[in-house]
Structure 1
Amino acid sequence: MAEPIRVLVTGAAGQIAYSLLYSIANGDVFGKDQPVVLMLLDIPPMLPVLDGVVMELQDCALPLLKEVIPTDQEEVAFKDLDAAILVGSMPRKDGMERKDLLKANVAIFKSQGAALDKYAKKTVKVLVVGNPANTNCLIAAKSAPSIPKENFSCLTRLDHNRACSQVASRCGVPADKVKNVIIWGNHSSTQYPDVHHCVVNVQGSVKPAFDVVKDDDWLKGSFIATVQQRGAAVIKARKLSSAMSAAKAICDHMRNIWMGTAEGEFISMGVYSSGNTYGVPDDLIYSFPVTIKDKTWKIVDALTINDFSRARMDATAAELVEERDAATSFLSA
């Protein structure tokens, strides 16, 4: 049996974590032969709830779960981490302006980035889930200068999975028969779900999505809008944000980081932009198509980008530049 790895989940008393923690502890993310120590961080008022979560994890009697440590102290939570899943963030409240939300989250992710820098392993893999996820991830990375920026990513896998599911439903195939959709840009309503490089396996025959769907107006119209607005639709229906599907996406994302991506297949994740890749400005966390091998991601390059895609990729990049500039002004304040 391997040495246990230390995995942090923040916002650990929340509903996403409640859907997530069993999968991590059961070996569904890091492997069926990989023991884990779970570090659970939340704010002081949530510690009684967190105690209940710990009891439930203990009562699952999972052989890979070596220890569960609940805490409200960053110096405890971030110590010697192998992986950090930063779920907790300040949610938008009624009457709160966007700049106020950004300012509150800059404070959280500046502090957590500094804690990663001070206490975690330099090899730690950091996934930011709490919204605005791209910009929160950038702030955390900037606040942890001794950890490579390539170790930070944000979650756009939920959007990726949503896009796969929509195409699969339209084609009448299981979701795993749809490959290589792309989420470009921000985890927000400006994101661009792109199926120009997507393929669908129909009864053993792999074809471009546009050829299988045979409805360009849908693929360029209501499909995009449905994926962009899916989170809001879930909130309207449930009166709560996505939890089960977000937890599944987190598992998919982290499993790919640990285990790699399948040959010929790419997935979407928010990563650090540099070198003007696909014309995206540098110094953003922007969602790209990536492949992963040996826990290292690589952006899929040389994909053809048409004018339709270019305009949407630029629009979501512009929003991220605006968010970054506002957030960094708070960072230096």
Structure 2
Amino acid sequence: YSLLFGIAKGDVFGKDQVKGRKKLWLDLHYVTSQLILLGLVYPCLFHLFSEVIPTDKEEVAFKDLDAAILVGSMPRREGMERKDLLKANVAIFKSQGAALEKYAKKTVKVLVVGNPANTNCLIAAKSAPSIPKENFSCLTRLDHNRARSQVAMRCGVPATQVKNVIIWGNHSSTQYPDVHHCKVNMAGSDLACFDAVKDDDWLKGAFISTVQQRGAAVIAARKLSSAMSAAKAICDHMRDIWSGTPEGEFVSMGVYSSSNSYGVAEDLIYSFPVHIKDKQWKIVDGLAINDFSRGKMDATAAELVEERDTAVTFLSA
């Protein structure tokens, strides 16, 4: 429900929606037991919505989609092994990928939010073979936004004055928030993040662990996940796909690794810095990687390889 307001206000596809269409059709795919909750949607309708369609039928929800945001997944429960979590989610995202394959446009842009997001995204992409894998991405923008805000607070500036932080790898506690290429605008000048913060120990220690553990800290504090900030990140991610990123700036997205970029193994959904133009993302190449960063990038990649290899055994079962 936090996400609906951002879409309805035009924060994602624009106030006038996509070119050639003045109104937005919103398909909400729920399991049957949750459909009664969608009565809450109707009082919240905004002028941009032409129609809201709550349904538990894949052939209705996935028909001719331009964009798909796959929010739900099986959460990890007490006593559940990670292997069991992967097995449950493979079944979910294999089904959703097959529905995209059967009903959605081949140009559909798919954002996977449900965790473990990177591997769930890979399973969905593998289950929709006629849709380009480049059309699939997973959400690491929430981590990107958190890293940006941590630097901004440390420097005493708005988050809008911090750019080009990077989240490398998995949306998990192994992710690597990297500020070696980050710029902070202070007093009208762009400073390297390390020069702006002036605390290398914090940037290489507490900053990284704070971003890595922020989701767990929110759950511990409110007994629920960070719905509002996650919704904001989803809107940011999809808006940038539709509208592009400013020249000279990049954002973090989990995307398909197919060319051994930055030494990352192929056939993973790995978070990279990307620039987006004409609805196409491109990994920002040529950034210098020091030994400190290399070790952390490799560690999160190794976790993703293990997740992928475990998940694929369930996919073929």
AA matched with 1:39: D
The alignment status of 1:296 with 2:280, answered yes or no, reads yes
Equivalent residue number for residue 219 of structure 1: 203
Equivalent residue number for residue 183 of structure 1: 167
Q: How far apart are the structure 1 equivalents of 2:86 and 2:39?
A: 30
SS at match of 2:180: coil
Task: Tell me if the contact between 1:26 and 1:65 (Cα under 8 Å) persists in the aligned partners.
Answer: no
Task: Tell me if the contact between 1:125 and 1:152 (Cα under 8 Å) persists in the aligned partners.
Answer: yes
Equivalent residue number for residue 251 of structure 2: 267
The alignment status of 1:100 with 2:84, answered yes or no, reads yes
Q: How far apart are the structure 2 equivalents of 1:134 and 1:95?
A: 22
Equivalent residue number for residue 264 of structure 2: 280
* Stretch moving more, 156-165 or 29-38: 29-38
SS at match of 2:97: helix
Equivalent residue number for residue 46 of structure 1: 34
- The alpha carbon displacement at 1:51 in A equals 2.5
Alignment size in residue pairs? 312
* Stretch moving more, 252-261 or 70-79: 70-79
- The alpha carbon displacement at 1:45 in A equals 1.1
- The alpha carbon displacement at 1:22 in A equals 1.4
Equivalent residue number for residue 207 of structure 1: 191
Q: How far apart are the structure 2 equivalents of 1:57 and 1:71?
A: 18
AA matched with 1:195: V
Q: Residue by residue, what CA displacement relative to the aligned partner does 1:154-211 show, whole Å, maximum 9, x if unpaired? A: 0000000000000000000000000000000000000000000000000111010000
Q: How far apart are the structure 1 equivalents of 2:8 and 2:128?
A: 27
The alignment status of 1:32 with 2:15, answered yes or no, reads yes
Equivalent residue number for residue 156 of structure 1: 140
Task: Tell me if the contact between 1:260 and 1:293 (Cα under 8 Å) persists in the aligned partners.
Answer: yes
Unaligned runs of 5+ in 2: 18-22
- The alpha carbon displacement at 1:263 in A equals 0.8
1:236 to 207, 220, 224: 220
Structure-2-length-normalised TM-score:
0.98
Equivalent residue number for residue 126 of structure 1: 110
SS at match of 1:264: coil
Unaligned runs of 5+ in 1: 1-17
SS at match of 2:272: strand
Q: How far apart are the structure 2 equivalents of 1:203 and 1:146?
A: 50
Equivalent residue number for residue 304 of structure 2: 320
- The alpha carbon displacement at 1:319 in A equals 0.1
Equivalent residue number for residue 7 of structure 1: none
- The alpha carbon displacement at 1:73 in A equals 1.2
- The alpha carbon displacement at 1:109 in A equals 0.2
SS at match of 1:229: helix
Task: Tell me if the contact between 1:51 and 1:70 (Cα under 8 Å) persists in the aligned partners.
Answer: no
The alignment status of 1:305 with 2:289, answered yes or no, reads yes
Q: How far apart are the structure 2 equivalents of 1:158 and 1:52?
A: 26
Structure-1-length-normalised TM-score:
0.93
